[in-house]
Amino acid sequence: MDEGEGGDRVIGRVRRKWRGRSTLVWIDTYSRWMLQGQPWLSLGFTSLMLVVPDHLTAAQLAVVRTIIALSALQAVVFVPLGRRALDRYLGKGPAPWGLLAVSVVLTVAVFGTLLALSLLVGRPDTTDASTLGMLVGGTMVTALIPSCAALSMLIRKRVFLGGFGALAAALLVVGGALTGGWSTWGTAAALVVTVGLMSCSTGRSVGWFLAVMWKLEAARGVQARLAVAEERLRFGRDMHDVLGRNLAVISLKSELAVQLARRGRAEAVDQMVEVQRIAQESQREVREVVRGYREADLQVELAGARSVLQAAGVGCQIEGDGGTGLPADVQSALGWVAREGTTNVLRHAPDAGRCVIRTRVSAGQAVLVMENDGVRASAPGPDTTGGGSGLKGLRERLSPLGGTLEAERRPDGSYRLTAQLPVPAAGVQEGGAL
């Protein structure tokens, strides 16, 4: 294997890894990258000062390079700092106070260097003032955003905004008194306040947005589990209603038969015959209950699919009249397809937001198509893996009726399940919707 093939395999593994992630993970990753990329964008703006060194003396240029180096180090520190601060805001880790202290020290160093540069420039002329103003503005953003964005996610908003107001006032007083450039440092103070508000809105907004998204994802999972649990409770109630009374009667009559047998009474046989009759009746009733679950009614299953999917946060649209007029065995088979397809959406499509179930009669075939989005990436095309025991069981159920089942992953991240069953000539009129 040459280096090119090895590289392609590595790239392929990376692509499969990233494509397999859910939409929410993509949003989380994108938001973190946007937050951590801001200092680097500001650093690029500040670095433009190195392109116009003619306006600066050698000493001033050395100070500018120091400022840029400190800003670059600040951006590097913000990579782990921003990630851990966001995790802390989301309740996923401890507060990175150590990294924040390093970032604050770098911020103070940057402002100290800026003050030294102002003293070197003295009373600037128009060109120097423009250069100095651009440098101060760019450096303010580069130096303040990392530590401030992280700090805004670790402390209360009132404390954060009050601290920025105090910092702006201190910059105006100290900078203006030492250099005499009150207008320059007044602009700097206003910029500090602006950056503080921007940092708060950026850092806390990203954290708040991701927190809401993760809570919605958790609520969606809870809704899906509750829907399944309620279905189990309904089955349990039905079984209790069927067996509870009959088992109590069987118990009482069995005890009576034992007492009569001990006394040598012939009525014990009659009681046991009655017990046998009730047991047989219970078996029949249990079979009827189970048949109601095993022989699905298409209209009932379509309504249940819509209810369960909507409870899980998936919009469900049903096209067709639900199989009115179809033979009972065809309705039952298609009902099972709708039931299993709904289960597959809940289990295997964590990002699903839409599901469409279409039913029609075409060329003597009753067709049910169930299509949903939100399938995690894999190779598109027919699902040749068997689709698990659920789809395998559906194929076995459809086969005796002459039906077929096709499952297909599509390139756009959707999944299509198609079931076809022959309809007798006297069945539903061809070409119409079911």
pLDDT in the model for residue 199: 75
Taking alpha carbons only, the member of 86, 76, 71, 69 closest to residue 29 is 86
Contact 371, 334 (CB under 8 A): no
Q: Please give the mean pLDDT across all residues of the chain.
A: 76
Higher-confidence residue: 5 or 59? Answer: 59
- Write out pLDDT tens, residues 57-78: 777 778 777 877 888 888 888 8
Rounded CA gap, 49 and 56, in Å? 10
Contact 203, 100 (CB under 8 A): no
3-state secondary structure of 295: coil
DSSP character string of 335-363? HHHHHHHHHHHHHH-TT--EEEEEEEEET
Confidence of residue 431 (pLDDT cuts 50, 70, 90): very low
Contact 48, 166 (CB under 8 A): no
- Write out pLDDT tens, residues 164-194: 788 778 877 877 777 666 776 777 777 777 7
State the amino acid at position 219 in one-letter form: A
- Beta-carbon contacts of 302 under 8 Å, excluding residues fewer than 6 positions away, are 318, 322, 335, 338, 357
Rounded CA gap, 407 and 320, in Å? 21
Confidence of residue 430 (pLDDT cuts 50, 70, 90): very low
Contact 415, 409 (CB under 8 A): yes
Mean per-residue pLDDT for 343-368? 85
Specify burial of residue 370 (Cβ count, 10 A radius: 0-12, 13-18, 19+).
buried
Strands 315-319 and 354-362: parallel
Name the β-bridge partners of 368: 359, 419
pLDDT in the model for residue 432: 44
pTM: 0.50
Residue 122: DSSP 8-state: -
Confidence of residue 139 (pLDDT cuts 50, 70, 90): low
- In 10 A of CB 412, how many CB atoms? 8
pLDDT in the model for residue 356: 93
pLDDT in the model for residue 104: 82
Mean per-residue pLDDT for 127-152? 64
Whether residue 386 has pLDDT greater than 60: no
pLDDT in the model for residue 295: 60
- Write out pLDDT tens, residues 396-406: 888 888 999 99
